[in-house]
Structures are given as C-alpha cells and as structure tokens.
Structure 1
C-alpha cells in the first residue's frame, strides 16, 4: 500500500492533475511497498506534544467543509499511543459546527503548525467523542488549564504526512521572542536579567 496518507488523499482527480503537473511519477512511487505514515514515531509524538493549537477540518451533511482552530496550553494535545491523539474539548462559542459535522461523518483532517521552524504535520483520522463521565477523559485533562470542559476528543489516526515548508511564514509567540532576545543579549555579553 505504501504511504498511507497518499493512498487516502490522492483521488483520481488529484492524480490526473499530478500527471499534468509532472509530479505523478514521484508520488506514484510513494504508494508502493509496505504501509507507512499511519503510526506515529517519537518524532511525530514529540512535535505534537509541543503544539499549543491545531486546525481541524470536517465536512457538514450538506457537503460544506469547515475548519476550526483549537487551542490550549502547550501539550494539551495528548499522544495516547502511536495511533491515537486526544484533547479535552473546552467550551467555546457553542456553535457546535464541528461537533455536528462529525455526527454524520467522523472523518477529520488536522494541521499542526510549528510556525517559527516552518514545519507542518497533517493528520487524517476519525473523531470519537468521550463523554464527561467516561474514565478516558482523565487522560485528556490539563489540571493547570481552567477552562470549562464539555467532552473529550479522540482522533484515531488513519494517516499523516509532513508537509513542505516552502510557503509557511514564520510567526512567533511572545515567549519565542523573549527567548530570542535573551539569547541575543547573552551572545553580546549582556546579562538579560540586568535589563
């Protein structure tokens, strides 16, 4: 089967466009051989644990796609095993668009971004809700984050892919900037604690 993400995402129409764009031969080779890119390695697990947000796409019953941003403290996305991610679903604007979409089609696509280092991990999977009284919810909680939890979310991974960094614009958090300034001050021989 080969690269699981390619097998799931490269539709006949996508393959035809790849042929027109002269990239099909390269991508066809990815689809050969043993299955890969469906079980997380330590590299993916570490990357995911360092994220403080994700983008999750789902599709409505009417066929319209929807993308939702999910955020929390760094590490709010839990790597439960090589094939399962999870996070606590904190109360937001209560539109419940994603929650409604996955009632009829539980397939979702995630983008996990590392803007400073221009890295992106794409994950395709099936979403399962965890009720508040389900014991599995405990593994998804962050005791230091004081938001109201409505339910837990499990993502059963079907495939993943690291994506090209070519057009990712670096973006930095305040903490990133503080670290860079502190490092630069130290390089200049200045004690950042004296500023």
Structure 2
C-alpha cells in the first residue's frame, strides 16, 4: 500500500473539495481517508536522482507568511543523501541577505523541487530543515563539502540538513527536456565507442574476407 503522508500534507480540505468536483478525488484525495502513515523513507530510486543532480529549487516560508523560492546549484551530487530519512548540503556563501536560512530558523518547513531534464523526471519533497553553522559542526560541513574523492571549491559557511517528511514523483508531461554539455558529451562518447567497436568488427571481417580471396587465388 502506498504511503499516504504526502497526500495528508499536500491535500487540504479545499484541495479535496476541488478534486471531488473535478473527478480526480479517487486517484488522489481518497488516500487521506486512511490514517496518516507518517514520514516516508527514501529508496534507491530517490537516491539515484538526487545524486545525479547539480541543481534544485528550495521553498521556505517567510516570517510574514509568504512562500519564498530559491535556486541552489553546485557540483553534481552536492545535495547528499545522509540516510534514508535525511538530506544535507553545504551552503555556499551568497549575497548576505540570509532569507532562506533565516526562514528555516523561524519555520523549518521546506519543499524541494528536483528535476532531471533529459529524462523528464521530477521529485517533489517536503521536509523540515535545520541550519548548522560551520563553527558549530565543522565535521559535518567538511563531510558535505566532499563528493566522493573531490571537494567543493566554493566557500561554504554552513550546513543545511533536511529531515524528509514526504515526497512524490510528478508527472513528466509538461517538462521540456534540456541537455547540458556534460550530458551531450557522455552521450556522444557512448555512440563513438559503439561506432569504434563496429568499425573494428568490420575491419576484422574485411581482413578475413581478403585473406579468403587471396587463398582462393593461390589455389587456382
């Protein structure tokens, strides 16, 4: 049975009422008829998407009650899965407005929007975030600045850790595919390797046929 915690967080009374009027309640809002299953756990599918991304959007709530959206980017994999219920990333030095971090200090609720444009996959995620200054936990910040064998070169002042509440894989219909240079190079390398292998096979076959022809000539 599908965990319904996302439905309980996203579908309030007005949402459910609209779904009932428009005929989509059975597919969505009806999940809230069961008691809330509680926080969801990340699985391999979520881990693979998150580890492959170099950007995402994070929404917080301002102290005046307004939503606030910000773009975050970094080396591929900078948003890290710490375990099956926590994410973390090293926060780069910015323009010193501190809106996102201060919003988190006041109200830890966040929403992340993570998209893989070439494959048209998108993951919506709810969580509760915490800002941890580098001086308070230098080991955590050092860990989040490391991606495999490499280290983030940008100046990082703090860690942001997110306790995952719920997530949902969204419809791919409206996503416009976009391809960066690295993706196109990787794709080109794959096709070039296949072409090289095919060429080697053909050259080997041609050499064998030429040898066969020479043998037939010698036998005449």
- TM-score when scaled to structure 2? 0.79
Q: Does 1:181 align with 2:182?
A: no
- Counterpart Cα distance in 2 of 1:62 and 1:36: 28
- Counterpart Cα distance in 2 of 1:165 and 1:108: 23
Unmatched tracts of structure 1, length 5 or more: none
**Displacement, 1:90?**
0.6
Q: Over residues 91-123 of structure 1, what are the superposed CA-to-partner deviations in whole Å (9 max), with x where a residue is unaligned?
A: 122221111212221100001110000000111
- Counterpart Cα distance in 1 of 2:53 and 2:90: 14
Q: Radius of gyration: which is bigger?
A: 2
Name the structure where helix makes up a greater proportion of residues. Answer: 2
- Counterpart Cα distance in 1 of 2:172 and 2:107: 30
Q: Is the 8 A contact 1:2 1:33 kept in 2?
A: no
Equivalent position of 1:144 in the other structure: 151
Equivalent position of 2:22 in the other structure: 21
Alignment of 1:35-114 (within 5 A): 35=37, 38-114=40-116
- Counterpart Cα distance in 2 of 1:152 and 1:185: 41
- Counterpart Cα distance in 2 of 1:19 and 1:27: 10
Q: Is the 8 A contact 2:11 2:29 kept in 1?
A: no
Q: Over residues 132-189 of structure 1, what are the superposed CA-to-partner deviations in whole Å (9 max), with x where a residue is unaligned?
A: 1313223211253211111000001111111111101101111111223334445556
- Counterpart Cα distance in 1 of 2:23 and 2:111: 26
Equivalent position of 2:210 in the other structure: none
Aligned CA RMSD, in angstroms, stands at 2.2
Equivalent position of 1:155 in the other structure: 162
- TM-score when scaled to structure 1? 0.89
Unmatched tracts of structure 2, length 5 or more: 200-220
**Displacement, 1:3?**
1.4
Aligned residues: 191
- Counterpart Cα distance in 2 of 1:182 and 1:87: 31
